[in-house]
Amino acid sequence: MKDNVLEVKNLKAYYDIMKGKVKAVDDITFNLKKGEILGLAGESGCGKSTLASTFIYRKKPLKYISGEVDLVGNKIMEMREKEFKKLRLNTISLIPQYALDAFSPTKKVKQYIFDLARQHGVKTDKNFLNKVKERFELVNLDESTLNRYSIELSGGMKQRVIMVISTILDPDFLIADEITSALDVSSQRFVATMLANLRDLEIIKSAIFITHDISILYQIADRIMIMYAGNLAEIGPTDDIIDNPCHPYTRALIDSLPKVGVQYKDNRLSGIKGTPPHLLEIGEGCRFRKRCSYEIDECKETPKREFVAADHFVACWRWKELGSDLNGEK
């Protein structure tokens, strides 16, 4: 555990609804190292946000089924809500998707931050205010922003305020869920770089950065984890995932990225054909198989996680034989 902030082993968490169980986090295993930014990518509905909430909220109908999660020595799946609450913001902090919409329009930024801090038992004295001001400077926000209402801020400014709030207690582990998706390209780059700065300054120890956009991960993530339909398809160092993707789904995701300088008429953006399967009572087998050009009978069984190279794992029955094909012309 020493080198890892988070250790997740065979984690399962399902939405327990009237129609049955939506298997949104199904047998997930990975570690998050100290000082690491781990990118989590996959199409919409693949279970990225559910995985994040499994670590922090687990509100009904989401139900923890089995598996272990060790967060800096705390077995968090076994903890009661009262105990776990003490870890929030301190040890683990989440910037949820759509956090930009959570600001109250009737409160000034300072009051919003102070109210939130108090809710987490933080003393909002002069020291706290100074710390907030220092952090504002760090993220290029003028001190005067504290006395403004949220409606007076741009999306990029709000996102920076949110980053300050969620890291004000120097959490070991930050989960940033789609924090760049509502921003323009230069704000996206700024927010992503800021996250890396927070890590470099050891304000946070490590982070999971959730996004649809692999190109942002290429810039800031040390490793990338690809999730598909509640399962992990592949995880590995960023360069390996981009240069040597072993799972057909990873390859398809990378291929669907638009390329600068290539016009639509010359190279139509293909996307990935088909849609992810419904996760309600989904059965055995590789969940990507219905969209995969390489499907064989064996794919009806769930693929095991296989070792590719240091820190690089893939769950595909055919990754070895397809290697050269996947990386060349199909």
Ligand X SMILES: Nc1ncnc2c1ncn2[C@@H]1O[C@H](COP(=O)(O)OP(=O)(O)OP(=O)(O)O)[C@@H](O)[C@H]1O
**Residues making contact with ligand X (CB under 6 A):** 15, 17, 22, 24, 42, 44-50, 61, 97, 279
The nearer residue to ligand X, 101 or 200, going by C-beta atoms, is 101
| Spatial contact of 285 and 203, defined as CB atoms under 8 Å apart | no
For the bound state, the minimum distance from the C-beta of residue 180 to ligand X, rounded and expressed in Å, comes to 13
The nearer residue to ligand X, 97 or 302, going by C-beta atoms, is 97
For the bound state, the minimum distance from the C-beta of residue 16 to ligand X, rounded and expressed in Å, comes to 9
Count CB neighbours of 300 within 10 A.
Answer: 13
For the bound state, the minimum distance from the C-beta of residue 94 to ligand X, rounded and expressed in Å, comes to 13
Residues belonging to the chain: 330
The nearer residue to ligand X, 221 or 279, going by C-beta atoms, is 279
Rg (CA), the chain: 21
**SS3 at position 33:** strand
Contacting residues for 24 by C-beta, under 8 A, at least 6 apart: 13, 14, 15, 47, 50, 51, 62, 230, 279
For the bound state, the minimum distance from the C-beta of residue 252 to ligand X, rounded and expressed in Å, comes to 16
Written as six digits, the tokens of 74 are: 């705390």
For the bound state, the minimum distance from the C-beta of residue 28 to ligand X, rounded and expressed in Å, comes to 12
For the bound state, the minimum distance from the C-beta of residue 42 to ligand X, rounded and expressed in Å, comes to 6
The nearer residue to ligand X, 48 or 223, going by C-beta atoms, is 48
The nearer residue to ligand X, 61 or 155, going by C-beta atoms, is 61
Task: Report how far residue 74's alpha carbon sits from residue 94's, in angstroms, rounded to the nearest whole number.
Answer: 17
Task: Report how far residue 315's alpha carbon sits from residue 154's, in angstroms, rounded to the nearest whole number.
Answer: 42
**Angle (CA) 12 36 254, round 5°:** 70
The nearer residue to ligand X, 31 or 49, going by C-beta atoms, is 49
| Spatial contact of 116 and 196, defined as CB atoms under 8 Å apart | no
